[in-house]
Structure 1
């Protein structure tokens, strides 16, 4: 095949496929879109594939029994073109099938946009994302979480479950599975840590954050949930958290820094956007505290209400303060640790120099730790329990502040590391 004909066929096949994908994205419910993208265009691509195989298969050198044989097979430009057309046809067929399935199951089209984009670019990855979205939604829609809550001890049985936040939390938890596999098999390191360690830690932390919001938002009033502030705690928070995770995972896949990355205007802009996102979703915990403090919030035991408001408030205030300190410091550590210096396993916090991350961790998880203490203090007399929660919240804030000050003075873990 002359190179000019091969290049023209390559461009024509690409144009056909792109037209099909644009129809799926821009006009998903137009009947002609499914006919063209799900039938006509894949058929044309398949016919082109058949012609290429029929004319050029006799030139094949290699086969499918080993990677070396496959590499030899695709050394032929016509057969390489055939393989590319094969991808174009089957990826488009998969995208059209996923879209039809999503429409039957009632998934919103905006949720399918990243699925279609990833199917176009990376085929099976788009299918996996669809399974993630659909499975997360099914778990929530089938009331499995409420049935699970109903089996818990009495104080937990009255808890409800915000389905959108719950589905997002489940999706984030499921994302930790492939990340853990990548962590296990990828030998690459960045700054001495496995490249997939940071995404894995963020997935776990974000899942806990989303599950907390899913359980706490129903305790606010319907009026608050319908307000602008209440609505901000759902889709905007979900979007901001997933943006954070996607950016971190993308940088990890390239063994590049996600935080403190100033390698060009694009990196600076993305890092700035990530910082803004972090401030906004951290501030959402303060908004949720306000919703629980309103007079029209659901009736709660005083000790539980107090602990939730204090925990969420501390997360908002201390989380933004410690995050701003981290951002302004230009790095996680204060001081230069030796390559062989001890760190806390998994977390990676330094035991030899100041590390700003422990204070940030304490700040972000006040919303779980303070209410956890309240559950332990609940058997006490109500007045005593309330004072104990207040004292614990104050001590927790002081501990977080002390960890931050110690790190800024190059002392690890309050100077005891």
Structure 2
């Protein structure tokens, strides 16, 4: 009788595990399928693991007391195969458990597909994603946010936060924690910066964007929120932003460029898709400005209302314009930065060449900066506040445009850097 080779056993174990994962993804509600994927397949893989250990353990070299001992242990191909089968069995077991847990909690299966895929590929990363999704679902439940706001100081209690956008914004802040740890632990550089720095900056920026929308959307009317533009401001915006984040995270993990990457057809297509996503979620600020400008919006102090509308409109128009210029330029900078030249800390803006990111940053954050100015102006003088907001919006828009023109002429920081 022919003996099963290690390569054949490896292939058979992989096919068996893959059949279980396909059942979890394609037939999540089929009870027999769940039994096969969550019990039968892990049992068969565990039996194979036990046989491999029993047959090959007696002459194993190494152990588990140090990393070198573990490396010596898995230098033997039979024990390496046993470790792989161990991985297949327990990852599938965890995947089935996560799926059953999600079904008990009433989580949509669409949210579980990336969890299962990540668990299959990277084990604990899928478990972390599941916990993040469940935490967001709990945050987004109707009573969680009001209960939290009730514990805050009086000025914050008057705000109403859209629960789904709030949960997504908090999720983005939580994702910044492992990114910050990766930034501290990974010495790799890309164009002079840590490979994780761009992802960390995007996570913080996206969190601010989502939380801003979470506060502002409830200030529009319920009729607007039920309309197509209003519905676009929730799940589509969240999906577009998370797509952008996943793409940047994938490139960061590989030490590759996320922007201006044209190394292959796939890179060109993905970069184009990221550009489309950026245009759509930036245009969403214009839709929100329209919702706040409608007569049926929640009554607000005139200065604050003008600042919100103008800030969102500037973000929409100047954000798309500066983003288009960035894309067409093919690089963040115009001109050649001097070797070892100084940059703005954390942001990385060049102080020796024109940097298009300065104008893009000012454009995207007009929606936060103008309302803050309105609050300060109202505190100093309520009567003149609306006029002051109009003047500040004009100056801010001109400053953003000047930053863009200066960068295009290879001059840093509005030409004064």
| Structure-2-length-normalised TM-score | 0.96
> Structure 1 residues 153, 74: closer, same or farther in 2, change over 3 A?
closer
In the aligned structure 2, how far is the partner of 1:166 from the partner of 1:324? 29
In the aligned structure 2, how far is the partner of 1:195 from the partner of 1:261? 15
Contact 2:139/2:163, CA 8 A, preserved across alignment: no
> Structure 1 residues 305, 151: closer, same or farther in 2, change over 3 A?
farther
Unaligned segments of structure 1, at least 5 residues? none
Q: Which residue of 1 aligns with 2:309?
A: 309
In the aligned structure 2, how far is the partner of 1:188 from the partner of 1:319? 31
Q: Which residue of 1 aligns with 2:377?
A: 377
Q: Which residue of 2 aligns with 1:392?
A: 392
Q: 1:43-102, CA deviations, whole angstroms, 9 ceiling, x for partnerless residues?
A: 111111111111111131111112222122112222111111100000001011111111
The structural deviation recorded for 1:300 is 1.9
Q: Which residue of 1 aligns with 2:64?
A: 64
The structural deviation recorded for 1:150 is 3.8
In the aligned structure 1, how far is the partner of 2:375 from the partner of 2:145? 21
Q: Which residue of 1 aligns with 2:319?
A: 319
Q: Which residue of 2 aligns with 1:126?
A: 126
Q: Which residue of 2 aligns with 1:16?
A: 16
Secondary structure, counterpart of 1:378 in structure 2:
helix
The structural deviation recorded for 1:302 is 1.9
Q: Which residue of 1 aligns with 2:285?
A: 285
Q: 1:178-198, CA deviations, whole angstroms, 9 ceiling, x for partnerless residues?
A: 000010111111101111100
In the aligned structure 2, how far is the partner of 1:408 from the partner of 1:348? 17
In the aligned structure 1, how far is the partner of 2:21 from the partner of 2:155? 50
Contact 1:59/1:76, CA 8 A, preserved across alignment: no
The structural deviation recorded for 1:369 is 0.4
Secondary structure, counterpart of 2:379 in structure 1:
coil
Find out whether 1:275 has 2:313 as its counterpart: no
Contact 1:356/1:404, CA 8 A, preserved across alignment: yes
In the aligned structure 2, how far is the partner of 1:396 from the partner of 1:82? 63
Alignment of 1:241-260 (within 5 A): 241-260=241-260
Q: Which residue of 1 aligns with 2:362?
A: 362
> Structure 1 residues 19, 369: closer, same or farther in 2, change over 3 A?
same
In the aligned structure 2, how far is the partner of 1:85 from the partner of 1:292? 57
Q: 1:230-287, CA deviations, whole angstroms, 9 ceiling, x for partnerless residues?
A: 1111111111111111111111111111111110111111111111110000000001
In the aligned structure 1, how far is the partner of 2:170 from the partner of 2:367? 19
Q: Which residue of 2 aligns with 1:184?
A: 184
The structural deviation recorded for 1:146 is 2.9
The structural deviation recorded for 1:155 is 4.8
In the aligned structure 2, how far is the partner of 1:3 from the partner of 1:274? 51
In the aligned structure 2, how far is the partner of 1:264 from the partner of 1:302? 52
Q: 1:185-238, CA deviations, whole angstroms, 9 ceiling, x for partnerless residues?
A: 111111011111000000000000000111111111122111111111111111
Alignment of 1:288-299 (within 5 A): 288-299=288-299
RMSD across aligned positions (CA) = 1.7
The structural deviation recorded for 1:305 is 1.5
In the aligned structure 2, how far is the partner of 1:182 from the partner of 1:154? 38
Secondary structure, counterpart of 2:49 in structure 1:
helix
Find out whether 1:39 has 2:6 as its counterpart: no
Count matched residues: 417
The structural deviation recorded for 1:339 is 2.5
Q: Which residue of 2 aligns with 1:173?
A: 173
Q: Which residue of 1 aligns with 2:91?
A: 91
Secondary structure, counterpart of 2:384 in structure 1:
helix
